[in-house]
């Protein structure tokens, strides 16, 4: 009897001092495949938000947990991964995916199952008109904007002709078309637009066509592994022009890749954020978090802040639903999150910023409306789930590193 009493007391102690079953959020990223060099760094941004929110008390006394699934930047793999998150893991919301094609494929599962998906990196303009019933959002800007910035940059650098090689998916196609439109509107001429398929052993034929006519600049709209092969191929074939890059190539693995010496000083564009005190705190906390958890990250990788903001938005929306969230079925949870996203990011609320989870959770619990100010920038979502304002980094490769030159709003 005495042993039984001791056991019951021990069980009670565990129950009162440990987290019960947590609140789950899915993470859908490309941990293998062509974006494998970037995904861990982006995921760490989302995980930092979870870590900070748990330190602020979690949600309704529950620990926030994440479930990761890999898409390989492949549409079929993404479809299967999203199905597992929805049907097996039963998450009501997902941060991801990264590649626009993977996100589009995953949405065919998440939308009908009323699961919210917020992508930090899917930039295809086609996603703006996705028939999503308001279950898809993104914290990164559309390439309809980046294409204009990139095209303007190329003309301002006095390039008159440009060739384009782009990954054959919605991201690559959308960015290539918008670059072409902006570049030619400013007086330039695109000589060739060549699509390529991912993870091929060689791109000699595609590169040969893209540099046909010897354009002043070759726009490489690619992911690091494939892009490195294309750069080497262009150099081996005697291309004497310059290169310009988009966000997919903004990686140390390109700066230190086999063409590293030849691309020193090359310019590129990527969604970015203005230099603010909140952004500076994020960078320090991000480094500390990576070191503490043993995560291997690239602190110059794009979309880290956007991933933090995507996760933060989901967590604030869940808190705004209220404690009855825990008693809802997954579909009901997803719908409730969707209905509260604009309530925690809209201009009518009291502004709360980076790592303000304790304050924000308390205010929401008292019935106050908050206006989350993203660390990547303002998060006012339009009717399509796109952000209304964005900043872009103009960056360069410098001595084997990625260096931001300046940021434009």
CATH of the domain at 167: 3.40.50.2300
d(C-alpha 307, C-alpha 42), whole Å? 6
Other CB atoms within 10 Å distance of the CB of residue 238: 8
Q: What CA–CA distances, in Å, run from 76 to 103, 107, 200, 290?
A: 11, 12, 18, 31
Within-domain flag for 257: yes
pLDDT, tens digit, for every residue of 131-159? 999 999 999 999 999 999 999 999 999 99
Within-domain flag for 6: no
Q: What is the mean pLDDT of residues 9-17?
A: 40
Q: What is the mean pLDDT of residues 51-68?
A: 98
Within-domain flag for 5: no
Record the pTM: 0.88
pLDDT(360) > 60: yes
- The pLDDT of residue 274 is 84
Contact 365, 345 (CB under 8 A): no
Preceding omega of 97 cis (within 30 degrees of 0) = yes
d(C-alpha 392, C-alpha 56), whole Å? 32
Q: What is the mean pLDDT of residues 309-330?
A: 97
Within-domain flag for 186: yes
Residues 255 and 287 in one domain: no
Length of the chain: 409
Q: What is the mean pLDDT of residues 198-217?
A: 97
Residues 55 and 112 in one domain: yes
Q: Which is higher by pLDDT, 5 or 267?
A: 267
- Identify which of 25, 39, 2 has the alpha carbon closest to the alpha carbon of residue 297: 39
Exposure string (b/e) for 26-58, b if CB count within 10 Å is 16 or more? bbbbbbebbbbbbbbbbbbbbbbbbbbbbebeb
- The pLDDT of residue 238 is 97
Contact 121, 326 (CB under 8 A): no
The region that residue 215 occupies, defined by phi over 0 for left and psi between -120 and 50 for alpha, beta otherwise, is: beta
Contact 178, 146 (CB under 8 A): yes
How many CA atoms does the CB half-sphere of 275 hold within 13 Å? 5
Residues 239 and 120 in one domain: no
Residues 165 and 137 in one domain: no
Residues 163 and 95 in one domain: no
Residues 123 and 39 in one domain: yes
Measured over the CA atoms of residue 48, residue 52, residue 55 and residue 57, the dihedral's sign is: negative
Residues 205 and 240 in one domain: yes
d(C-alpha 314, C-alpha 136), whole Å? 12
Residues 137 and 153 in one domain: no
Instruction: State the burial class of residue 21 (Cβ atoms within 10 Å of its Cβ: 0-12, 13-18, 19+).
Output: exposed
Contact 204, 233 (CB under 8 A): yes
Strands 370-372 and 93-96: unpaired
Within-domain flag for 235: yes
pLDDT(17) > 70: no
Among 228, 251, 273, residue at a domain's last position? 273
Q: What share of the chain is helix, strand, coil (3-state, %, to 5)?
A: 45, 20, 35
Instruction: State the burial class of residue 8 (Cβ atoms within 10 Å of its Cβ: 0-12, 13-18, 19+).
Output: exposed
Strand ordering across the sheet containing 161-167: 189-196, 161-167, 217-221, 242-245, 267-272, 391-398, 401-408
Number of H helices, E strands in the chain: 13, 14
Residues 365 and 288 in one domain: yes
- The pLDDT of residue 123 is 94
Residues 35 and 181 in one domain: no
Among 273, 298, 318, residue at a domain's last position? 273
Q: Rounded to a whole number, what is the largest CA-CA distance in the chain?
A: 90
Instruction: State the burial class of residue 114 (Cβ atoms within 10 Å of its Cβ: 0-12, 13-18, 19+).
Output: buried
Residues 318 and 236 in one domain: no
pLDDT(357) > 90: yes
Measured over the CA atoms of residue 334, residue 339, residue 341 and residue 343, the dihedral's sign is: negative
Within-domain flag for 4: no
Other CB atoms within 10 Å distance of the CB of residue 237: 11
d(C-alpha 370, C-alpha 197), whole Å? 44
Residues 171 and 264 in one domain: yes
Distance of CA 50 to the CA centre of its chain: 16
d(C-alpha 34, C-alpha 31), whole Å? 9
Q: What is the mean pLDDT of residues 227-235?
A: 98
Within-domain flag for 294: yes
**Pseudo-torsion of CA 297, 124, 230, 215, nearest 10°?**
-130
Structural domain harbouring 252: 144-273
Q: Which is higher by pLDDT, 10 or 361?
A: 361
Q: Which residues contact 294 (CB under 8 A, 6 or more apart)?
A: none
Measured over the CA atoms of residue 268, residue 270, residue 274 and residue 277, the dihedral's sign is: negative
Among 251, 273, 295, residue at a domain's last position? 273
Per-residue pLDDT band at 15 (split at 50, 70, 90): very low
Within-domain flag for 368: yes
Q: Domain count for the chain, please give it.
A: 2
d(C-alpha 194, C-alpha 174), whole Å? 13
């Amino acid at each position: 009897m005495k042993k039984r009493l001791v056991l019951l007391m021990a069980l009670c102690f565990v129950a009162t001092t440990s987290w019960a079953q947590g609140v789950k959020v899915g993470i859908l990223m490309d941990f293998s495949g062509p974006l494998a060099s970037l995904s861990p760094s982006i995921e760490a941004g989302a995980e930092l938000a979870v870590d900070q929110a748990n330190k602020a008390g979690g949600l309704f006394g529950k620990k926030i947990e994440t479930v990761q699934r890999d898409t390989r930047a492949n549409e079929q793999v993404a479809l299967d991964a999203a199905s597992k998150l929805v049907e097996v893991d039963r998450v009501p919301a997902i941060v991801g995916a990264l590649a626009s094609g993977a996100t589009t494929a995953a949405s065919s599962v998440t939308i009908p199952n009323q699961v919210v998906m917020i992508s930090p990196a899917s930039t295809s303009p086609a996603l703006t008109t996705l028939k999503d019933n308001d279950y898809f959002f993104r914290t990164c800007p559309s390439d309809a904007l980046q294409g204009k910035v990139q095209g303007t940059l190329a003309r301002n650098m006095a390039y008159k002709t440009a060739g384009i090689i782009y990954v054959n998916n919605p991201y690559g196609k959308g960015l290539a078309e918008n670059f072409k439109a902006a570049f030619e509107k400013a007086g330039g001429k695109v000589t060739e637009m060549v699509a390529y398929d991912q993870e091929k052993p060689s791109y000699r034929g595609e590169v040969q066509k893209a540099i046909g006519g010897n354009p002043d600049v070759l726009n490489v709209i690619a992911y690091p592994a494939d892009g490195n092969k294309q750069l080497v191929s262009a150099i081996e074939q005697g291309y004497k022009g310059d290169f310009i890059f988009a966000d997919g190539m903004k990686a140390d693995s390109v700066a230190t890749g086999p063409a590293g010496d030849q691309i020193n000083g090359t310019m590129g564009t990527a969604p970015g954020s203005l230099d603010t005190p909140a952004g500076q705190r994020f960078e320090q906390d991000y480094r500390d978090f990576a070191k503490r958890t043993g995560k291997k990250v690239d602190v110059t990788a794009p979309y880290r802040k956007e991933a933090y903001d995507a996760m933060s938005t989901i967590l604030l929306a869940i808190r705004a639903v209220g404690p009855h969230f825990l008693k809802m079925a997954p579909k009901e949870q997803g719908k409730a999150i969707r209905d509260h996203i604009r309530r925690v990011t809209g201009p009518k609320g009291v502004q709360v910023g980076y790592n303000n989870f304790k304050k924000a959770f308390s205010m929401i619990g008292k019935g106050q409306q908050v206006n989350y100010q993203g660390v990547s920038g303002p998060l006012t979502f339009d009717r399509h789930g796109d952000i209304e304002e964005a900043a872009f980094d103009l960056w360069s490769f410098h001595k084997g590193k990625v260096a931001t030159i300046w940021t434009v709003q």
